[in-house]
Chains A and B, each alone.
Chain A
Amino acid sequence: MKKKIKIKINGKQIMINDNTKLHVFLKKFEVPLNKVAIELNREIVDKKKLNDITLKTNDKIEVVHFIGGG
């Protein structure tokens, strides 16, 4: 069995396979990459470099988009 690691996405803790690329991970959630911004451990991630990033245990990801507001 593959080793699992624990990460947080938008405040929610989940277990994922070790050595998961950020790009693959976001694809799984069907995140529309052209309409969001991504933060990894409080640093903005360049969306062109998603494939270069391998998730580590305790990583915190934030995925945000625009919603209605005043």
Chain B
Amino acid sequence: MKQDKLIISKKKFSSRLIVGTGKYKDMSECARAIKISGAEIVTVAVRRVNITDKKKPLLMDYIDPKKITYLPNTAGCFNSREALRTLRLAREIGGWELVKLEVLGDKKNLFPEMIETLKSTETLTKEGFKVMVYCNDDPLMAKRLEDAGASAIMPLAAPIGSGLGILNKLNISIIRKQTKLPLIIDAGLGQASDATIAMELGCDGVLVNTAIAKAKKPFQMAEAFKNAVIAGRQSFLSGRIEKKLMAIPSSPTKGII
């Protein structure tokens, strides 16, 4: 398993678990959960600095961007213009070119607005960004994103924060078969086994935030997800047995007394 790296735009990662940094009780809890999870990539949001409170802790003081790859996101953006503005600012903070594009279309379900997402992918790619794209689980749209220059396809398992797990395994499998790009399940996982299922479907990684941050024991859940991703990947690479509708005995039938 040592050589089995996750490669995103030529950058190699040992961990296939990407974690979000939102929704934790505080920054030290977040930093510890990330450490336990073994994640090498974390998503971060771009927001206004609190100008009046100078003592407010900064994320960079807790999670060192030299050690952990920051993946700036566009959470909260509802059109291409806002998403582009956010990521151009993110790049300005410290030269981040690997970004997570997320253009939402609907406040209730937080589903991706795919037309705006596709437009933004085209523009960002032209500007030199490496775009990992949050998208729906539609194979046709996934193909359009790939053609537009996306660096990774990141379909949702279920609505963001819902914890429902992978609802459409068929579509995820179809996307897996059609693309050579990294395929990462983003959003909707609820428990560690959901991550194992994603990996067994052949996904290259999973992105988890709420399921860890809001678990009753976030540190334990961070470790559970770490193990689940490793288990799922190993299982996928091992080549599972065929499914059959009949029983086949595990013990020899010859020589029964």
The reply to whether B54 and A67 contact each other, CB–CB distance below 8 Å, is: no
Find A69's partner among B22, B89, B187 (CB 8 Å cutoff): B22
- How close is A13's CB to chain B, nearest CB, in angstroms? 12
Q: Closest B residue to A31 by CB, please name it.
A: B49
Contact B48 A70 (CB under 8 A): no
Contacts of B23 in A (CB 8 A): 68, 70
What DSSP secondary structure best describes chain B's contact surface?
A: mixed
Interface size on A, residues (CB 8 A): 26
Asked if A49 lies at the interface with its beta carbon under 8 angstroms from chain B, I say no
Q: Are A66 and B46 in contact (CB under 8 A)?
A: yes
- Closest Cβ of chain B: how far from A20's Cβ, in Å? 15
Contact A66 B93 (CB under 8 A): yes
- B88 contact set on A, CB distance < 8 A: 44
- Considering only residues 13-55 of chain A, those with a C-beta below 8 Å from chain B are 29-32, 34-39, 42, 44, 47
Q: Separation in Å of the A31 CB from the closest CB of chain B?
A: 7
Please report the C-alpha to C-alpha distance between residue A37 and residue B44 in the assembled complex, in whole angstroms: 14
Residues in B whose Cβ lies below 8 Å from that of A38: 92
Closest residue of B by beta carbon distance from A39: B89
A62 to B21, CA, bound (A): 23
Q: Are B27 and A68 in contact (CB under 8 A)?
A: yes
Q: Does B90 contact A (CB under 8 A)?
A: yes
Closest B residue to A9 by CB, please name it.
Answer: B51
Q: Does A3 sit within 8 A of B, measured CB to CB? A: no
A67 CB contact (under 8 Å) in B47, B92, B161: B47
A44 neighbours in B (Cβ, 8 Å): 88-89, 92
State which of B68-76, B173-181, B191-199, B225-233 sits at the interface with chain A.
B68-76
From A65, which residue of chain B is reached at the shortest CB distance? B49
Residues A68 and B49 in contact, CB atoms below 8 Å apart: no
- Name the distance in Å between A55's Cβ and chain B's nearest Cβ: 15
Residues of A within 8 A of B209 (CB): 70
Q: Is there an interface contact between A63 and B49, defined as CB atoms closer than 8 Å? A: yes
Residue contacts A-B, CB under 8 angstroms, 29 given: A10-B48, A10-B49, A12-B51, A29-B54, A30-B54, A34-B94, A35-B93, A35-B94, A37-B46, A37-B90, A64-B46, A64-B49, A65-B49, A65-B58, A65-B59, A65-B60, A66-B44, A66-B45, A66-B47, A66-B70, A66-B93, A67-B47, A68-B27, A68-B30, A69-B45, A70-B43, A70-B45, A70-B75, A70-B209
Q: Which B positions have Cβ atoms within 8 angstroms of A? A: 20-24, 27, 30, 43-49, 51, 54, 58-60, 70, 72-73, 75, 85, 88-90, 92-94, 160-161, 187, 207, 209-210
Given contacts A37-B92, A65-B58, A68-B59, 5 further A-B contacts (CB under 8 A): A10-B48, A12-B51, A64-B49, A69-B75, A70-B20
